[in-house]
C-alpha cells in the first residue's frame, strides 16, 4: 500500500487529462469510458483502504508485538474526528456513486434511477455530517441534529416550490432538487469543527462545483437567453470537479 496510493493518484490524473482531451476533440464515447474507469478505480482503492484499516484494527486488538510499533503511528482520519462509524457509510456511498455512474455515464440511460441513487448518496453524506451527541459516537435527535435537518428540509421545499412555480416539476426535477439542496448544505456543514476530515470537506465542495456546472449546462433548456457558450464551458468543467471530488472522498478512508 505504500506505493499503491501515489500510483493511484497518478493514474487518476492521467485519466483526467485523457478524458479532458477527448471531450475537447469530440470523442465523447471514449471520454465516458475513461471517466467511468476513473470511478471504478477509486472505488477499488476505497475498498483497499477500508480493508487496510480493518486489518490494522484487528491487529491492534490482538496486540501483535510485530506490528505494535507501526500501529502506534496509524492515523485514521475519521476516528480523529470521533466518527469511526462513518467509514463504512462513506464506502457505501462511493459504491452507490459508481452504480449511479453506470447508468448515467456508461449506459447513458435510466436518468431518473441514476439521479435517485445520487439522492441516496447525498443522504448518506447527510448522516455522516450530523453533529455528535454528548455520548460520543452515538447520534441522537439533539437540537443541533434537528436544526440541521430542519434547514435541509426547508431548502428542499423552497426549491420544489420554485420549480413548481416554473411549471417544470416532475419526478426527475424533484430528485435533482433534493440532491443539489442536500449537497449544497453538506458543503457548508462539512466545515463545522469535528464534522469530518478536511480532505472529505474539500471533496464535498468540489462535488458541489460539479453539480453547479451540471445546472449551468442545463440552463438553456429553461432560460433560452442564457449564453450557450457558457453552458458548453460548464459541461467541460463537470468532470474536472467531479473526479477529483470522488478521489478526495475516497482518500479520506486512507489510514497512515
CA R_g for the chain: 20
Residue 91's nearest CA partner among 55, 138, 53 is 53
pLDDT value, residue 72: 47
User: How far is Cα of residue 197 from the mean position of the Cα atoms in its chain?
Assistant: 13
Query: Which of 8-12, 69-73, 172-176, 188-192 is predicted least confidently?
Result: 69-73
Three cell numbers, residue 177: 432538487
Q: pLDDT over 90 for what percent of the chain?
A: 77
Contact between 119 and 211 under an 8 Å Cβ cutoff? The reply is no
Q: Kindly tell me if the per-residue pLDDT of 140 is higher than 60.
A: no
Query: Looking at 29-33, 55-59, 154-158, which range is the least confident one?
Result: 55-59
Question: CA 109, CA 88: separation in Å to the nearest integer?
Answer: 28
Segment 19-31 shows an average pLDDT of 95
Calpha distance 208→214 (Å, rounded): 10
Report the SS3 class of residue 232: helix
3-state secondary structure of 12: helix
Asked whether 107 and 227 are in contact (CB, 8 A), the reply is no
Q: Region 167-180: what's the mean pLDDT?
A: 96
CA distances from 40 to 118, 162, 200 (A): 16, 36, 19
Q: Pick the closest to residue 130 from 117, 150, 149 (CA basis).
A: 149
Among residues 159, 165, 160, 173, the alpha carbon closest in space to that of 221 is found at 173
Render 46-74 in DSSP notation, one character per residue.
HHHHHHHHHHHHHHHHHT-HHHHHHHHT-
186 within 8 A of 204, measured Cβ to Cβ: yes
Return the C-alpha cell found at 37: 474507469
- pLDDT over 70 for what percent of the chain? 89
User: Cell 474526528 identifies what position?
Assistant: 81
Terminal Cα-to-Cα distance of the chain (whole angstroms): 10
Instruction: Give the pLDDT score at 59.
Output: 67
Of the CA atoms within 13 Å of residue 29, those in its CB half-sphere come to: 1
Confidence tier at 241 by pLDDT (50, 70, 90): very high
Mean pLDDT of the chain: 90
pLDDT of 26 > 60? The answer is yes
3-state secondary structure of 251: helix
pLDDT tens digits along 67-84: 445 444 558 899 999 999
Amino acid at each position: 500500500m505504500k506505493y499503491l496510493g501515489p500510483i493511484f493518484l497518478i493514474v487518476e490524473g492521467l485519466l483526467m487529462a485523457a478524458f479532458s482531451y477527448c471531450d475537447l476533440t469530440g470523442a465523447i464515447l471514449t471520454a465516458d469510458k475513461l471517466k467511468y474507469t476513473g470511478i471504478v478505480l477509486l472505488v477499488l482503492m476505497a475498498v483497499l483502504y477500508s480493508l487496510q484499516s480493518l486489518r490494522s484494527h484487528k491487529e491492534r486488538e490482538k496486540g501483535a508485538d510485530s506490528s505494535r510499533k507501526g500501529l502506534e503511528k496509524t492515523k485514521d482520519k475519521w476516528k480523529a474526528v470521533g466518527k469511526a462509524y462513518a467509514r463504512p457509510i462513506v464506502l457505501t456511498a462511493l459504491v452507490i456513486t459508481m452504480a449511479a455512474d453506470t447508468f448515467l455515464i456508461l449506459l447513458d440511460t435510466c436518468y431518473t434511477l441514476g439521479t435517485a441513487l445520487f439522492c441516496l448518496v447525498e443522504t448518506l453524506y447527510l448522516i455522516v455530517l450530523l453533529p455528535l451527541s454528548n455520548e460520543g459516537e452515538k447520534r441522537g435527535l439533539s437540537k443541533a441534529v434537528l436544526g440541521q435537518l430542519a434547514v435541509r428540509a426547508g431548502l428542499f421545499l423552497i426549491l420544489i416550490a420554485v420549480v413548481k412555480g416554473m411549471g417544470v416539476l416532475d419526478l426527475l426535477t424533484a430528485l435533482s432538487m433534493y440532491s443539489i439542496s442536500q449537497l449544497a448544505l453538506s458543503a457548508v456543514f462539512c466545515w463545522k469543527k469535528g464534522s469530518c476530515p478536511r480532505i472529505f470537506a474539500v471533496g464535498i465542495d468540489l462535488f458541489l462545483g460539479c453539480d453547479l456546472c451540471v445546472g449551468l449546462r442545463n440552463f438553456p433548456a429553461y432560460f433560452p437567453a442564457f449564453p450557450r457558450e457558457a453552458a458548453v464551458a460548464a459541461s467541460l468543467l463537470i468532470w474536472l470537479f467531479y473526479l477529483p471530488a470522488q478521489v478526495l472522498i475516497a482518500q479520506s478512508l486512507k489510514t497512515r
